Amino acid sequence: MAPQTLDKISVTSLHGVGPQLASKLKKLGLYSVQDLLFHLPLRYIDRTQVTPIGGIQPMSDVVIEGEIRASDVVFGRRRSLVCRIQDSTGVVTLRFFHFNRAQQERLKPGTRLRCFGEVRRGKSGVELYHPEYQYLDSANPAQLEETLTPIYPATEGITQTRIRDLCAQALKQLQEYQIAELLPNEVKTELGHELSYSLDNALRLLHNPPPGTALHLLSEGEHPAQQRLAAEELIAHNLSLLRLRQKVQQQQAPVLMRDKTAQDKFLQQLPFTLTAAQLRVVDEINQDISTAIPMLRLVQGDVGSGKTVVAAMAAVQAIANGKQAVLMAPTEILAEQHRINFDQWLRPLGIRVAFLTGKVKGKAREMQLEAMVDGSAQMVIGTHALFQEAVSFHDLGLSIIDEQHRFGVHQRLALRNKGFNPDNPVAMGPAPHQLIMTATPIPRTLAMSAYADLDCSVIDELPPGRTPVETVVLNNLRRNDVIDRVRASCTVGRQAYWVCTLIEESDVLEAQAAEVTASELQLMLPELSIGLVHGRLKPREKLEVMNAFKSGDINLLVATTVIEVGVDVPNASLMIIENAERLGLSQLHQLRGRVGRGSQSSHCVLLYSAPISNNGSARLKIMRETTDGFKIAEKDLEIRGPGEVLGTRQTGDMQLHIADLQRDAHMLPQVKRAAEKLLLNHQQKVDPLIARWLGHAEQYAQA
């Protein structure tokens, strides 16, 4: 008989687990005994020795022993039970906010206790809030712990003691039953020494670290036992994305052959020639889409590197093959700008462009939808309105998503699914090729794990004749100097942006702030024509302002961060950003990317108000020192960590339990190779690995 494995044994087989507890455990994602084994401690405390009360330090975990001298219910903002406990070296307060009458009665003067808890500074000096405790009596001397004590992630209604007991039971079962080792030796070799730990031993150590285990390594997550599990977890995540890729690539995509005549015709009417980097990426895309395997490609390129025209080249190829192409942008302004560009570029080739955003309504909307369905519009441009049910295509061959960082992985998948259904490929026809463009350069290591399902191209060159934007950082007290500078620049025919920012996520407040700033600037700069654009304007109003700015009728554009992505007005060469200290690096970089697009030298003024945080000033310093988006992204990662850099939506998909993308970045290249090996040679391990680490929700492949 095959040995039973722990993933098949329910938690209800453990002592003391009835339906009620089982349902609480479910909330923690714990169904099987194996799940419990992978429910690892958040941290550890040392309960192997008693600390004299006189010697306890705030902010530490301690074990103390003593006798209760006083016990009172105190009424304050919150009712609490306060006990004073004493040993030969001193007195300390225990404070309980939740207590019942029985507890209150037993915790009376004269009782001897051993308590475990975290020492804090409270109202009466040092206090232990809600310590765990046990009663001491000479007949029954309680043993001290022999190993470090784990603290587990818990949920309401399950105490640490309970979870510890369950995990101890699970560990016992580990001696009798098996836990599947899912990493074959070939894969372990790929990972090197980190994986020399066997899975059993790693789990045993982490639930029950023997005395002398390096606590500092454990607390940093750098113990080899943790690293071994972290590697496995990262492999599982990688696999889930590769699986997704595999699923997609089993579909048939239309073969889009290179049509040199159409592409040449397109290139000839451009006012510039493509850079070597653009041509290289165009080639990579051409290769991908001329096969029946759906393309899944990410194009990274710094702001202003010219991604749009690369996307247009791909669209031309799709359309020349009789298919439709769709481009989705994250904002109305950007979508509108793409529409203008594509219209201008594609009309000479006889291509009709449809446009769909949330704001296109009524008859106009119907017409656009119809042109998409009957195929008379070969090129479709829009915002996330394109996700909507009512939207369908005649024969979609290519979908392009611009500024990916604004969208989560799920949205990306949803658009992909517009062309087909991954679970039922026949039902919806061929899968479109997919191109994703991002202006937020993602550090290579991060890209490797967050976008393991995508191939990657980089446009690593800016069009010629661009001079890097010069950046200065100024205290807001020097605002008047800055206003003089705007006047000087605009009166010689240049244009400028003045960006108003607020930290509150409020369109209304931000719009108000921008209005106030605009009228204030108009008073001080009566000779200039000043425009105002913010998120509260109607799309048509927004457009009118943007067009007036583009045509030069407006000298100075006061704006909120709605202009963050994509806006392209090459004659604008000066940008002022207010409260720059509050913005993140990638946002600052995006905003600054609006200038430096023409041939004249450009400037960016970052205004700040003192006092300013350490991180804030670190960010401004980086902005002053470099305009290289990749360098900025690396720094961003250092300051904010991967969760923030990728955006919550993306990391929401990544939910790592043990691994930490930043700490474990060094192993990502090996992880990638290991995942590829597994997929190639050990198919049968793949699903169990994904299930073990990404859980029962099976959400990983869902769009």
**Contact set with ligand ADP (CB under 6 A):** 272, 274-275, 278, 301, 303-309, 439, 463, 568, 570, 597
Give least dist CB 353 to ligand ADP, A: 16
Burial pattern 602-629, b for ≥16 Cβ within 10 A else e, equals bbbbbbbeeebeeebeebbebbeeebeb
Q: Which does 278 bind (CB under 5 to 8 A by kind): Mg ion, ligand ADP, none?
A: ligand ADP
Give least dist CB 311 to ligand ADP, A: 8
Q: Which is nearer to ligand ADP, 282 or 656 (CB)?
A: 282
Total of chain residues touching Mg ion, rule CB under 5 A: 1
Give least dist CB 622 to ligand ADP, A: 20
Q: Which does 301 bind (CB under 5 to 8 A by kind): ligand ADP, Mg ion, none?
A: ligand ADP
Give least dist CB 302 to Mg ion, A: 10
182 Cβ neighbours under 8 A, 6+ residues apart: 199, 232, 685, 688, 689, 692
Q: Are 299 and 438 in contact (CB under 8 A)?
A: yes
576 Cβ neighbours under 8 A, 6+ residues apart: 482, 486, 496, 497, 498, 499, 604, 605, 607
Q: Which is nearer to ligand ADP, 338 or 685 (CB)?
A: 338
Q: Which is nearer to ligand ADP, 202 or 543 (CB)?
A: 543
217 Cβ neighbours under 8 A, 6+ residues apart: 223, 226
Nearest to 420 by CA among 252, 217, 206, 631: 252
659 Cβ neighbours under 8 A, 6+ residues apart: 230, 231, 233, 234, 237
Q: Which is nearer to ligand ADP, 308 or 368 (CB)?
A: 308
Q: How far apart are CA 524 and CA 533, in angstroms?
A: 19
- Three-state DSSP class for 389? coil
Q: Which does 272 bind (CB under 5 to 8 A by kind): ligand ADP, Mg ion, none?
A: ligand ADP
Give least dist CB 587 to ligand ADP, A: 15
Q: Which is nearer to ligand ADP, 299 or 671 (CB)?
A: 299
Q: Are 99 and 81 in contact (CB under 8 A)?
A: yes
Give least dist CB 435 to Mg ion, A: 13
Give least dist CB 309 to ligand ADP, A: 5
Give least dist CB 178 to Mg ion, A: 53
Q: Which is nearer to ligand ADP, 294 or 593 (CB)?
A: 593
Contacts 24+ apart (CB under 8 A), 165-169: 165/16, 166/11, 166/14, 166/16, 166/17, 166/25, 166/36, 167/36, 167/37, 167/39, 167/207, 168/207, 168/208, 169/14, 169/15
Q: How far apart are CA 313 and CA 283, in angstroms?
A: 10
Q: Which is nearer to ligand ADP, 97 or 272 (CB)?
A: 272
Amino acid at 440: T
Q: Supply the DSSP symbol for 660.
A: -
Residues present in the chain in total: 703
Give least dist CB 413 to ligand ADP, A: 23
- 535 is a site residue for Mg ion (CB under 5 A): no
Q: Which is nearer to Mg ion, 47 or 542 (CB)?
A: 542
Pairing of strands 396-402, 433-438: parallel
Nearest to 148 by CA among 220, 219, 66, 87: 219
551-570 footprint of Mg ion as x/- string (CB under 5 A): ---------------x----
Residues 397-426 that bind Mg ion (CB under 5 A): none
Please report, in angstroms and rounded to a whole number, the separation of the first and last CA atoms in the chain: 39
Q: Which does 275 bind (CB under 5 to 8 A by kind): Mg ion, ligand ADP, none?
A: ligand ADP
Q: Which is nearer to ligand ADP, 406 or 597 (CB)?
A: 597
Q: Which is nearer to ligand ADP, 218 or 310 (CB)?
A: 310
* The two structure tokens encoding residue 13: 């087989």
Give least dist CB 306 to ligand ADP, A: 3
- Three-state DSSP class for 257? coil
Q: How far apart are CA 423 and CA 616, in angstroms?
A: 47
Give least dist CB 337 to ligand ADP, A: 8
Give least dist CB 303 to ligand ADP, A: 4
3-state percent breakdown (helix, strand, coil) of the chain, nearest 5:
45, 20, 35
Q: Which does 550 bind (CB under 5 to 8 A by kind): ligand ADP, Mg ion, none?
A: none
Q: Which is nearer to ligand ADP, 275 or 489 (CB)?
A: 275
* The two structure tokens encoding residue 31: 């169904």
Give least dist CB 161 to Mg ion, A: 56
Q: Supply the DSSP symbol for 195.
A: G
Tell me which H or E stretch contains 430: none
**Chain residue whose CB lies nearest ligand ADP:** 306
Q: Which does 238 bind (CB under 5 to 8 A by kind): Mg ion, ligand ADP, none?
A: none
Nearest to 551 by CA among 565, 533, 569: 569
Q: Are 549 and 557 in contact (CB under 8 A)?
A: yes
Q: Which is nearer to ligand ADP, 90 or 463 (CB)?
A: 463
Q: How far apart are CA 303 and CA 405, in angstroms?
A: 13
Q: Which is nearer to ligand ADP, 309 or 326 (CB)?
A: 309
Q: Which does 306 bind (CB under 5 to 8 A by kind): Mg ion, ligand ADP, none?
A: ligand ADP
Q: Which is nearer to ligand ADP, 463 or 688 (CB)?
A: 463
Q: Which does 597 bind (CB under 5 to 8 A by kind): Mg ion, ligand ADP, none?
A: ligand ADP
Q: Which does 52 bind (CB under 5 to 8 A by kind): Mg ion, ligand ADP, none?
A: none
Q: Classify residue 265 as left (phi > 0), alpha (psi -120 to 50) or beta.
A: alpha
Give least dist CB 484 to ligand ADP, A: 29
**Chain residue whose CB lies nearest Mg ion:** 566
Please report, for residues 54, 354, 382, 437, the alpha-carbon distance to residue 57 in angstroms, rounded to integers and kept in the order given.
9, 68, 60, 53
The residues binding Mg ion (CB under 5 A) are 566
